[in-house]
Homo-oligomer: A and B are copies of this chain.
Amino acid sequence: MDTDARPRRRGPYAKSAERRRSIVDAAFEVFAARGYQGGSLQDVADRVGMSQTSLLHYFPSKADLLVAVLNRRDVVADTGPLEDETRDFPTILIDQARFNEGVPGLIELYTVLCGESVTEHYPARDYFEHRFARLRDEYSAELRKLEAAGRLREGVDIERAASSIVALWDGIQTQWLLDDSVDMAACLADYLGLIIRPSAP
């Protein structure tokens, strides 16, 4: 008797999962280049080499595909935990900014979908609402820790600073996409340096 039954079933499931994955990768590229509204299922199907109707076998609607793409984005751009023994909070953010810069399509995708998210009936509006709420909470918590460690500069409003980190980061990405002479990580680092004292070594 097998102690692990999964290998028997892995064949077809793995193949289907692979297919789904390649569809999501193609949709990632299409939505990054043309947006959700501007990209079509046919574009995605062409890129993955299948018919548009076959694609709908895996994702019953375009909105479902959008959700899958955004979940994939979270994996691609995963920061890892904000807790890190070797790097402090500002360093983690700056490293992440530099990393994201090198992932093709990542910033394009985020910027265009984020802009579309404020339109009526947008299928992923919730994603962005929750994302922003979560980031504000996480960054606020990190800033409170730094405050407790005496590393926050005087007079900084923590909640507004958390919002501002996210805002600055998002906004600078848009400028960078339109003019890559803008130094995203440096702008972010400048701001963090204004509100956080360097760690005592």
- Which positions in A face B, CB cutoff 8 Å? 33-35, 37-38, 108, 111-120, 125, 128-129, 132-133, 156-157, 160-161, 163-164, 166-172, 174-175, 177-179, 182-183, 186-187, 190-191, 194-195
Contacts and interface: CB of A to CB of B under 8 A. Distances in A.
Contact of A163 (B133, B170, B182): B182
B168 A164 contact: yes
B33 A179 contact: no
A88 B187 CA distance: 24
The 10 closest A-B pairs by CB, nearest first: A115-B115, A167-B171, A171-B171, A37-B37, A170-B171, A167-B172, A194-B194, A118-B177, A168-B168, A37-B38
A111 B119 CA distance: 10
A168 B178 CA distance: 16
A167 B167 contact: yes
B37 A178 contact: no
A172 B162 CA distance: 11
B164 A167 contact: no
Nearest to A170: B171
Given A194-B195, A195-B194, A174 B33 contact: no
Nearest to A37: B37
Contacts of A114: 115, 174
